[in-house]
Amino acid sequence: MRLKNVRGAKEIINASQYIVEDPFVYLGKYQQLFNNNNPIEIEIGMGKGDFIIGKALKNPNINYIGIEKFDSVIVRAIQKLESLDLKNLKLIRMDALDIDKVFNKEIDTLYLNFSDPWPKNRHEMRRLTSKIFLKKYENLFKDKPCIIQKTDNRKLFEFSIISYVENGYKIDEISLDLYKDDTKDNIATEYEKRFVSLGQTIFMVKVSRH
């Protein structure tokens, strides 16, 4: 969901130490950006940042990149980071359609959390687990592709499972009700916290290709 415009959002974003101003120039060189050889994990559609910030705080030896399309959303994450100094976190404001132009064989894990379900059939290719996007993701990964997805939308979840299998992925882990299973290592997004408070089921799947 797109938030209302935030006054001075562009200025806040441009001034942030966390923003990668021109991500295209780092294609294949993101380890130089972080100045280390640690694994790199990305989240497409990071929202207001609860998940990716939580991951970076919990795992200082892993580098994280949060990707978000809208200024009005990514600025909220930047505001949460004002009191922090995380060397292992960067943010990129961009459209996911350009993802294959920004990364090349350097990502270890991709997170898709509560992505837009695009419920109409005519829009299914816009879903981040459609064959169009899965094709784009192929060259992102350093070794074997690994995608971890969470959603509250059962139809998107079912669509995604079929799409993964049809495109050569195998299911490593799956939960049809994450909060009835083991969530000790789970970091919740903003949407997730709200959905859980309303008693909605959260679906999770981890897939890989060899």
Active site residues: 116
Q: Which residue has the tokens 């903003």?
A: 190
Quote the DSSP letter at residue 3: P
**Token pair in block for residue 31:** 């380890």
Contact assessment for residue 172 and residue 206, using Cβ atoms and an 8 Å cutoff:
yes
**114 Rama sector, left if φ>0, alpha if ψ -120 to 50, beta otherwise:** left
Distance CA 114, CA 153 (A): 8
